[in-house]
């Protein structure tokens, strides 16, 4: 066989080897960039009062894909901690600045009220570097969270968070098909949509709009709230409530109203609705640990930093 023919015979293999070497270099650079992006995210969370911990990330999938695996991953902030046995990171070697996360099916969520075991169906989240911070997006087809006799189930859920100035974030979410049950009873939320801007230390946020279907009631809210000196939310929201008949029972299940106060609250809401033709349109005042609408106390205000 002549030299030119040998060259033609081996040229495709040499070219394939060269492409494989170049791809390996790109893949390894992508894996390293993904490690750096995750480390930057953890550092930024620490500067902002949070915390992210994980075992050293391992890169998998060469030559077909790039996937990172970080064992014992946890993110903590303001008394909350979310942890999972393994966090999977998916990224393109050509765009390692955007990382898509998925986890093992079970996630532990520690809150000031206790620890919940969460099982998420087809859940994914992503982070992407943006001006002033990180873009965060998350979605799941279904979520089930349990703690003792408490069970929370949802259908499709979507969350988006983006930086908005120094120490502030814009957030929006949609949750469908919520079912919540505990020893006090059951409550359902067919749909809950909201958009807000928030900042921390102390907590303050502007609710641009919240619209939900809670049992038979339709609730719309907007306004501004902040944390008072005792940790309670304080401020005023403009509220519109249609068909409030079942709202008091749902608030009792959620723990905002004591069961012995449900009947009196229901009577007060019905009276207000009768005066408005079946609809309540009034300010919702958060003050001194209470929540009142048109002077009628309907719930306890949330208190942060306390179980």
- 35, β-bridge pairs: none
pLDDT confidence of residue 194? 96
d(CA 272, CA 135): 42
Listed by start position, the domains of the chain span 1-150, 164-307
Provide the pLDDT for residue 74.
92
Give residue 212's pLDDT: 94
The Cα diameter of the chain in Å comes to: 101
pLDDT at 209: 96
Residue 31 is predicted with a pLDDT of: 82
Per-residue pLDDT of the chain (307 residues; tens, 9 = 90+): 555 555 555 666 566 677 677 766 777 877 888 888 888 888 888 887 788 999 999 988 877 778 889 999 999 987 789 998 888 888 776 676 678 888 877 888 988 778 889 988 888 888 887 877 788 899 998 999 999 899 999 999 999 999 887 778 899 999 999 999 999 899 999 999 999 999 876 788 899 999 999 988 899 999 999 998 888 999 999 999 988 877 888 888 888 788 887 888 888 888 888 877 878 898 999 998 898 888 888 888 888 765 4
């Amino acid at each position: 066989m002549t030299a030119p023919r040998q060259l033609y015979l081996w040229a495709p293999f040499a070219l394939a080897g060269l492409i494989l070497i170049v791809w390996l270099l790109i893949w390894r650079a992508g894996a390293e960039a993904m490690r750096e992006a995750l480390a930057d995210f953890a550092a930024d969370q620490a500067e902002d009062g949070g915390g992210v911990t994980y075992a050293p990330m391992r890169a998998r999938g060469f030559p077909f894909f790039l996937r990172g695996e970080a064992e014992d991953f946890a993110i903590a902030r303001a008394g909350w901690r979310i942890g999972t046995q393994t966090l999977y990171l998916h990224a393109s070697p050509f765009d390692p600045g955007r990382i898509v996360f998925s986890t093992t099916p079970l996630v532990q969520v520690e809150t000031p009220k206790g620890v919940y075991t969460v099982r998420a169906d087809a859940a994914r989240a992503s982070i992407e570097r943006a001006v002033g911070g990180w873009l965060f997006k998350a979605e799941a087809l279904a979520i089930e969270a349990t703690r003792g006799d408490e069970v929370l189930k949802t259908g499709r859920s979507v969350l988006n968070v983006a930086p908005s100035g120094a120490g502030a974030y814009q957030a929006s979410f949609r949750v469908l098909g919520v079912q919540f049950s505990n020893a006090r009873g059951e409550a359902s939320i067919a749909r809950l949509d909201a958009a807000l801007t928030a900042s921390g230390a102390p907590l303050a946020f502007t609710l641009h709009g919240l619209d939900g279907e809670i049992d038979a009631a339709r609730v719309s809210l907007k306004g501004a709230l902040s944390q008072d000196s005792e940790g309670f939310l304080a401020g005023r929201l403009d509220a519109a409530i249609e068909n409030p008949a079942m709202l008091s029972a749902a608030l009792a299940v959620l723990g905002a109203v004591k069961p012995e106060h449900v009947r009196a609250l229901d009577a007060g809401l019905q009276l207000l609705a009768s005066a408005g033709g079946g609809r309540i349109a009034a300010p919702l005042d958060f003050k001194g640990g209470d929540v009142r609408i048109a002077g009628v106390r309907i719930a306890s205000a949330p208190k942060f930093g306390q179980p």
